[in-house]
Structures are given as C-alpha cells and as structure tokens.
Amino acid sequence: MFAKVIKDECIGCGLCEQICPEVFSMDDDGTAVAIAEEIPSECEGCAEEAAESCPTNAIEIE
Ligand code: SF4
C-alpha cells in the first residue's frame, strides 16, 4: 500500500499525523506529507483511518 497527500487539498489540520505518525508528518509548509510512501504492513490500519478522518479527503491510499 502507498499513501499520498494531495497538497492542494490539505488544510494542515494535523489530524493524520496524530492518528498515524508512522506514515504522516507535518511539512515545513504547514501541510502534511507521507513520510512512508510505502506503508509498513503494521501501519495500514492507522493509515486508512487517517485517510477516512481527513476533513478534506486529501489522503490517497492505493
Ligand atoms: S488530515 Fe488531511 S487536511 Fe489534515 S493535515 Fe492530514 S492531509 Fe492535511
């Protein structure tokens, strides 16, 4: 599985980092970034939860 943050849609709320810090981190520009593009298997659950919780649907999981 891969995670990607669509920067143009991210409002920088920080929720994804709170839910799944192994995969998402806040970048210098105030938006989130996927620090582990290929999601470790033990983090797939929280990565999906972060994507579902994102208020602007800025997270893509493939
Ligand atoms: S939860 Fe969504 S809007 Fe909030 S920081 Fe993460 S990607 Fe951006």
Q: How high is the pLDDT of residue 36?
A: 81
Q: Are 3 and 40 in contact (CB under 8 A)?
A: no
**26 Cα nearest atom in ligand 1:** 5
**Could you report the per-residue pLDDT of 14-50, keeping only the tens digit for each?**
999 999 999 999 999 999 999 987 999 999 999 999 9
Considering the domain 3-61, what is its CATH architecture? 2-Layer Sandwich (3.30)
Give the start-to-end residue ranges of the domains of the chain. Answer: 3-61
CB of 35 closer than 6 A to ligand 1?
Answer: no
Q: How high is the pLDDT of residue 28?
A: 96
Phi, psi of 52 (to 5 degrees): -70, -30
CA distance 52 to 50: 5
CB of 33 closer than 6 A to ligand 1?
Answer: no
